Structure 1
Amino acid sequence: MLAQLVGYLGDFDRAEDAAQEAFAIAAERWPTSGVPDRPGAWLVTTARNRAIDRIRRERTLAGKMHLLPAPEAVMDEFDDTAVKDERLELIFTCCHPALSPEGQVALTLRALGGLETAEIARAFMVSEDTMKRRLSRAKAKIRATGIPFAVPAAHLLSDRVDAVLTVIYLIYNEGYRGRVDLGAEAIRLGRVLAGLMPDEPEAHGLLALMMIHHARRHARFAGEDLVLLGDQDRTLWDVRQIAEGRAVLDRAFALGGRGAYVVQAVIASMQTRQPVDWPQIAALYRRLVELTGSPVVELNHAAALAQAGEPAAALRAVDRLDLDGYLYYHSTRAELLRRLGRAADARTAYRRAIDLATSTPERRFLNRRLEES
């Protein structure tokens, strides 16, 4: 819905305001009048009409009003089948090279991923106020420069693919933390992108990564409790989706893919094998550190080292990282300290992780670990 409104109005703030107003009207009317046969069409039509009325009242676009259709004509123009492409158009609009890389990803997560500003700030490990300013600057630049709402021509796709892949990956990460709806949406977008760029190995690598992880979604939680990989009931895994993910990964390899998403997909695939080859996974994470230079990847490498039987080396690696505001830094460090018999230090690290946890399963898991230490 938001993608259609942004494409129609050419303004993020107006689109968000109109969408919110339409949902408020629906919440007021539908309980008594009933849900329309095509609720999506009703919402978009209502939002468009309200936006047009507001523009007329404000008279800021008075000179362009003749270009806008009359409100009563909008319903017939709505096409439910167009939503998929318009979502991709919205991603590419947000990921225009004229915007800063941080602004590209942040704006797309806000507009398309449905993430709140605080959630996006957490993903970037910055303050909420900093993220608000980034979002405002990105919206203003799109409005001021007239960045088109469209999927770019084929020869321009490569200029934006890195940012688009990052966006889809971060949307999936929020889904992996428990918002399964976002996980499914990220996979859907990944399929669309892989179809749009069939010769791009990283697009296939990302899709494979998401599919293999998503296949374990029913085993990752038991009620409100988080279940670690080694304790998961493998009968709950979607073996068909794992097989499909591996087939997509084979496609990425056939295209010569050796990038970061392909390597992560290989790791995800290896984690579904029995037994898990942790030394090999640790080696792959080392390769991933070389590709990305990311301290978060270094943290994952340390966790794999511990699983491979080297907790002391893993702790030394973790203690070199500057990730104090990152939940998983403290939870990983706590686990390593616990394994090394440093119970008091482990409890301190668990408490710090609990302070940073934002989801109920994470808090429950960490509190249980704290009690066991």
Structure 2
Amino acid sequence: MIEEIFRAEWGRVFATLSGLFGDIDLAEEATQEAFAIAAEKWPKEGLPDRPGAWLTTVARRRVLDRLRRDRLFAAKAHLLAVSDVEEATMAETAFPDERLELIFLCCHPALAEEAVRLGRMLAALMPDEPEVLGLLALMQCAHARRAAIVTRRSCCWISRTEPVGTLR
């Protein structure tokens, strides 16, 4: 069903969007997104009365959303601009490598135990590096904090499930 509509309507939707907006790449992306949405929705909600019109409307709205988003970004791009003085200051204070990113990655809750093990291995390999020892200390603190929260939650749950004694 969708394959037949794809063959029949792809060219029409694409040509309509290309003519309206004058951007072939944008028209193609929006047409693809419209057919992807159709492939997701039509089996659940049923085929619309005019599939070509539905696809054209969805694709046109996608293009309009994209153009609005690009216009808003262009209007606010100057807020993201960094002056040369600020950039030089950041370059002097920034880490030469991705240490900060590594710290955040190692302290991620999903990697807690593995990260602490990795930190211990790094500390054993590079005992003279203060950054590695600081990273290990930070990871162990974060791990201990998560363990305390889990323990506290499990204690609260156990106390709620214990039978209540009789009144005297």
Q: Is the TM-score greater than 0.5?
A: no
Q: Select the structure that is richer in helix.
A: 2
TM-score of the superposed pair, with normalisation by structure 1:
0.16
> Which protein is bigger by CA-based radius of gyration?
2
Normalising by structure 2, we get a TM-score of 0.35
Q: With a CA cutoff of 8 Å and minimum separation of 6, indicate the structure with the bigger relative contact order.
A: 2
